[in-house]
Amino acid sequence: MKPIVVTENIICTLGEGPMWSAHHGKIFWVDIFEGTVHGLHIQTGETESWAMGARASVVVEDADYNLLVVCQNSNKKLNPLTGKIVELSTFEEGLPNNRPNDGKLDPKGRLWFGTTDHLEQNISGSIYMLDNEGRLHKKLTDFGNPNTFAWSPDGTIFYLADSVKQTMWAFDFSLETGGISNRREFFSLAGTDIIPDGSAVDAEGYLWNAQWNGWRIVRYAPDGSVDRIIEMPVSCPTSCAFGENDLDILYVTSARKGQTEAQLAGQPDAGKLFKIDAKIPGVAVGSTPSH
């Protein structure tokens, strides 16, 4: 399971949110600090990039194969064929220092995302769900830096981390309503320098978590125990997603943010996109309705 660099030409300050599109045959991801969406065609190796005009943190696909991008204070639709960008809705307009950080679609195609203080000074983040009718619901408050947004294969367990608290939680999840309950600790890295970041769930119900400052991806069993550790050549992997035809290739984003020149000298691939032959398929991600 050796990580392989797949984008020599794209180096992100804060790469995040990888998302596989079978329709486009591409992995899409974002550079939050640069406000850019990137796309890699896995067969040709060709890349494209789109400037969103604001910090962009989450990218998912709608039913028409457009990209829904969660940006600072607004949701935007990007047509990856034409490059056309349309603003759909706004949120947290009264919190100019807040930005989204991570998010995913739940099994019913509802968009979940979390916000954080970009200046890293206040605990001002919240958890939101955008339902299939385009209505925004605030689900949780008082988050430092929300991460992960992942579901068990049967959709009954929701995983969510707060990187500030270095803790990953599990919740009971209602597929019908999107309700969450019975919050409990799944694992904690408190007391270490390692921070739980973005995750993906495989078909066996194990959670693969990218760990900031950890130089690693960790696969956790459904009971929260460590199943395996995959060493990374960069200190700050940020998130992961399963892709390609059999959904058995794990794509991993990474960051250069906060690293000194000396630190970066020891990890020249920081900020690049990687792939790992997981040999275990992931869970397919749905699409939002068209808006």
- Residue positions annotated with a catalytic role: 197
CA 33 to chain centre: 15
CA distances from residue 83 to 33, 70, 167, 248 in whole angstroms, order as listed: 20, 16, 38, 29
**CB atoms < 10 A from the CB of 273, how many?**
24
**CA dihedral sign, ordered 154, 290, 129, 67:** positive
Token readout for 158 is 């929701």
Largest CA distance in the chain: 50
